[in-house]
Amino acid sequence: KAGVTQTPRYLIKTRGQQVTLSCSPISGHRSVSWYQQTPGQGLQFLFEYFSETQRNKGNFPGRFSGRQFSNSRSEMNVSTLELGDSALYLCASSLEGTLNTGELFFGEGSRLTVL
């Protein structure tokens, strides 16, 4: 059974640009959640999607957005990139579409560098 796949694995952007990251969940999983990992702030929850609807959202500005497609694949977008957006972005999928049981399966992440 294939795991969670994130693309691209590495990317470099400049300030002011936008970026789109993709996440393919484990087959059958309907929930996808996104996290930002930085040395200074640690792991922070961005948002969760379940059946194409955003269920939960963390404390990030509106420049961070996401969506989920009917096949459960998800994308997150960051517009007007800032230096502080440099981070590892992790995606996780879960079976029942809720964070309540914590059964999260993580991808290897997309490492974004903003210059």
Partner 1 sequence: AQSVTQLDSQVPVFEEAPVELRCNYSSSVSVYLFWYVQYPNQGLQLLLKYLSGSTLVKGINGFEAEFNKSQTSFHLRKPSVHISDTAEYFCAVITYSSASKIIFGSGTRLSIRP
Residue type, 22: S
Residue type, 40: G
Q: How many amino acids of this chain bind partner 1 (CB under 8 A)?
A: 23
- Tell me if 97 sits within 8 A of 31, measured CB to CB: yes
Binds partner 1 by CB under 8 A, chosen from 58, 65, 67, 79? 58
Binds partner 1 by CB under 8 A, chosen from 20, 22, 79, 98? 98
Binds partner 1 by CB under 8 A, chosen from 78, 90, 112, 114? 90
Q: Parallel, antiparallel, or unpaired: how do β-strands 10-13 and 110-114 relate?
A: parallel
Q: Could you write out the DSSP letters of every residue in 71-95?
A: TS-EEEEE-S--GGG-EEEEEEEES
**How many other CB atoms are there within 10 angstroms of residue 110's CB atom?**
22
Sole window of 14-22, 24-32, 43-51, 74-82 interacting with partner 1 (rule: CB under 8 A): 43-51
CB of 15 to partner 1, least distance (A): 26
Q: Using CB under 8 A as the criterion, which residues of the chain lie in contact with partner 1 when the complex forms?
A: 4, 33, 35, 42-45, 56, 58, 90, 92, 98-109
